[in-house]
A = this chain, B = another copy of it.
Amino acid sequence: MLSGLKRLLIGRPLKSNELCEQKLNKTKALAILSSDALSSVAYGPEQILLVLMTVGAAAFWYSIPIGVGVLILLLALILSYRQVIYAYPHGGGAYVVSKSNLGENAGLIAGGSLLVDYILTVAVSISAGTDAITSAFPVLHPYHVLISCLLVVFITVLNLRGITESASILAYPVYLFVLALFILIGTGLYQIASGAVPDHLHAPVGTPVAGITLFLLLRAFASGSSALTGVEAISNAIPNFREPAPRNASRTLAAMGVLLALLFAGIVYLGYYYGIVPSEKETVVSQIASTAFGRGILYYFVQATTAMILVLAANTGYSAFPLLAVNLAKDKYISRMFTVRGDRLGYSNGIISLAILSIILIIVFEGRTEQLIPLYAVGVFIPFTLAQTGMMVKWLREKPGGWTARFIVNLIGAVITFGVLIVFFVTKFAQVWSVLVFLPLIVIMFHRIKKHYDAVGEQLRITNCERAPRAHGNIVIVPVAGITRVVENSLNYAKSLQPEQLIAVYVAFEREQEKQFEEKWNKWQPDVRLVTLHSQYRSIVQPLTKFIDTIEHKANELNYRVTVVIPQFIPKKRWHNALHNQSSLLIRARLLYRKDIIVTTVPFHLKK
């Protein structure tokens, strides 16, 4: 039944050689990989105004120069990541770049922060999307966390089905969102140009404002740069592109940069011109749309597409997290199971882990995004900085033709992103300090896992000079619970192994029982030695383990192996298991984990 449900949700398994068909063309890639970056427009401009509002509405004109600063930062990032794409066509982005140029620890810091960041991407985007939905339908508000979790499950299923299919579903909302915002910005600009908007709604640019400080402006700039989260997604996902992958990826990146710049600039400008004041109850985009259109069909179109793209932005995490996990797992820094492809050729373990972790975040933070956004932004700017620095080192080392120009591009990128990072830590320390605690812990975990894998590899390696010692014989122990067919069955098997010694063990709770059983046994199986153990505390496992200890000690001296043959009762129906005590499972688990003993399970299938 479970496997039927899986089939229904995820589709038939795909053969390994069906992989090529799952690659993305540019149009779909733009939709899938840029929804995160584009959706940031829905909250980025608002973050700037929220900081400026602490001084007063007169300060809102600063959003224009701050917006220009964010656009410059965007340009620097796009240019630097364009170089990353060509230099590292196999993807991996910041992790690979930092690792190969700045060393292991830098790579692990970048990888660790990206890993956490993709989880935050999902949590933040889904929560913000749910906010948009529940704002439109206030009756759903009490079910906020539940809706968020269902959306995560929905996107998870889409991703488990495989990339291309999800792209077809996910591409439309992204383009509709872009269309909706273009209509909104176009209408707004036309209204302004035609003089339909009174110009006393905003203070002119350059108006002196009391109380404005550099600290505050930097804080506003840092907040605004949260609109740039997600621009690195394309450079991490190059292997998902059709060939020639680097060129396709680079063009997609450029297209995304242009779209993001236009939308961001438009929203910031309209917000300034309309004199929008951020409010808890209505988002800035919603206020702009209702000013431009009134609460008609176009307004709802903008709100609906905004909600959808925010939800879909989470999908970027689903494209990027599993690929990064594969890179880390191949280098043995996280569990090997992240390299396994699932039925539909996606890396299911990565997808499922991401889903679980983001659902936990959503539940713990009760879907409140404002606490998560600064953390999220810091998590993005750490790998930004490391990647740019790594590229600088690369150019310095390799010095290819025209390397100085490339070096300067990455130098500017590195300086700006590092600057933003410093600004974050200085102006929002209360919200981002935990990065300084968790990131080192994650890096330590990476190292410990790698150390374990290395140790295991060494222990498993077969060197020609030494062969594993072979045992001289076998002692077989059969725990018996009575005189039944199950016992007969496993005794027969034990005898067929022709062991040097065969011992049946019976655990009795009462003295009488013990004697009775010995008598019966001697009549039934006189040729098999029976040992009865008395259990004062009504436990079967403990006296058995103790007995096996002594046998093992003896066996070691003789260089014999010890095999325990456990009869296992297999009822016809699953629910019948509840009617039988599961001693055989307990015994098996205890013996295998504690001792160097071979455990053989002889099933006895009940026929009715």
Q: How many copies does the complex hold?
A: 2
Q: Are B488 and A581 in contact (CB under 8 A)?
A: no
Q: Complex formed: what's the CA distance from A596 to B492 in Å?
A: 15
Q: Complex formed: what's the CA distance from A599 to B602 in Å?
A: 7
Choose one: B16, B455, B570, B602; the contact of A538 (CB below 8 Å). Answer: B16
Q: Are A336 and B470 in contact (CB under 8 A)?
A: no
| 29 A/B residue pairs, CB under 8 Å, sorted by A | A14-B537, A15-B536, A16-B538, A337-B581, A340-B538, A341-B538, A343-B537, A449-B579, A452-B579, A459-B606, A460-B482, A460-B484, A460-B485, A460-B486, A461-B484, A461-B485, A462-B484, A471-B492, A493-B598, A570-B592, A570-B593, A588-B601, A595-B603, A596-B603, A598-B600, A598-B601, A598-B602, A598-B603, A600-B600
Closest chain B CB from A510 CB (angstroms): 7
Q: A578 contacts which chain B residues (CB < 8 A)? A: 335
- A524: nearest chain-B partner, CB-CB: B462
Q: Check if A200 is an interface residue, CB within 8 A of chain B.
A: no
Q: A474 contacts which chain B residues (CB < 8 A)? A: 496
Residues of A within 8 A of B (CB): 13-17, 335-337, 340-343, 449, 452-453, 455-456, 459-462, 467-468, 470-471, 474, 482-486, 488-489, 492-493, 496-498, 509-510, 524, 536-538, 561, 563, 568, 570-571, 576, 578-581, 588, 592-593, 595-603, 605-608
Closest chain B CB from A486 CB (angstroms): 6
Closest chain B CB from A52 CB (angstroms): 40
Q: Are A468 and B488 in contact (CB under 8 A)?
A: yes
Closest chain B CB from A505 CB (angstroms): 18
Q: Are A599 and B596 in contact (CB under 8 A)?
A: no
- A537: nearest chain-B partner, CB-CB: B13
Q: Complex formed: what's the CA distance from A47 to B449 in Å?
A: 64
> Which has the most chain B C-beta neighbours within 10 Å: A342, A483, A497?
A497
Q: Complex formed: what's the CA distance from A449 to B576 in Å?
A: 8
Q: Are A485 and B471 in contact (CB under 8 A)?
A: no
Q: Are B607 and A459 in contact (CB under 8 A)?
A: yes
Taking A14-B537, A596-B605 as known contacts, 9 extra A-B pairs with beta carbons closer than 8 A to each other, sorted by chain A number, are: A17-B536, A449-B579, A455-B608, A470-B496, A471-B496, A493-B598, A588-B601, A597-B603, A598-B603
Q: A16 contacts which chain B residues (CB < 8 A)? A: 509-510, 536-538
Q: A471 contacts which chain B residues (CB < 8 A)? A: 492-493, 496
Q: Complex formed: what's the CA distance from A599 to B565 in Å?
A: 10
Q: A606 contacts which chain B residues (CB < 8 A)? A: 455-456, 459
Q: Are A459 and B608 in contact (CB under 8 A)?
A: yes
A-B pairs, 5 with minimum CB distance: A460-B484, A600-B600, A15-B536, A13-B537, A335-B579
> Which has the most chain B C-beta neighbours within 10 Å: A461, A578, A598?
A598
Q: A496 contacts which chain B residues (CB < 8 A)? A: 470-471, 474, 561
Closest chain B CB from A480 CB (angstroms): 12
Q: Complex formed: what's the CA distance from A563 to B490 in Å?
A: 13
Q: Complex formed: what's the CA distance from A14 to B539 in Å?
A: 11
Q: Complex formed: what's the CA distance from A592 to B498 in Å?
A: 23
Closest chain B CB from A438 CB (angstroms): 18
Q: Complex formed: what's the CA distance from A452 to B467 in Å?
A: 51
Q: Complex formed: what's the CA distance from A580 to B461 in Å?
A: 16
Q: A493 contacts which chain B residues (CB < 8 A)? A: 471, 561, 598
Q: Complex formed: what's the CA distance from A477 to B346 in Å?
A: 32
Closest chain B CB from A79 CB (angstroms): 39
Q: Complex formed: what's the CA distance from A602 to B493 in Å?
A: 17
Q: Complex formed: what's the CA distance from A581 to B349 in Å?
A: 11
Q: Complex formed: what's the CA distance from A468 to B494 in Å?
A: 14
Choose one: B452, B537, B598, B602; the contact of A576 (CB below 8 Å). Answer: B452
Q: Complex formed: what's the CA distance from A524 to B462 in Å?
A: 10
Q: Are A592 and B601 in contact (CB under 8 A)?
A: yes
Closest chain B CB from A498 CB (angstroms): 7
Q: A452 contacts which chain B residues (CB < 8 A)? A: 571, 576, 579
Q: Complex formed: what's the CA distance from A482 to B461 in Å?
A: 10
Q: A568 contacts which chain B residues (CB < 8 A)? A: 592
Q: Are B336 and A579 in contact (CB under 8 A)?
A: yes
Q: A449 contacts which chain B residues (CB < 8 A)? A: 579
Q: A336 contacts which chain B residues (CB < 8 A)? A: 579-581
Q: A343 contacts which chain B residues (CB < 8 A)? A: 537-538
Known: A15-B537, A459-B607. A470 touches B492 (CB 8 A): yes
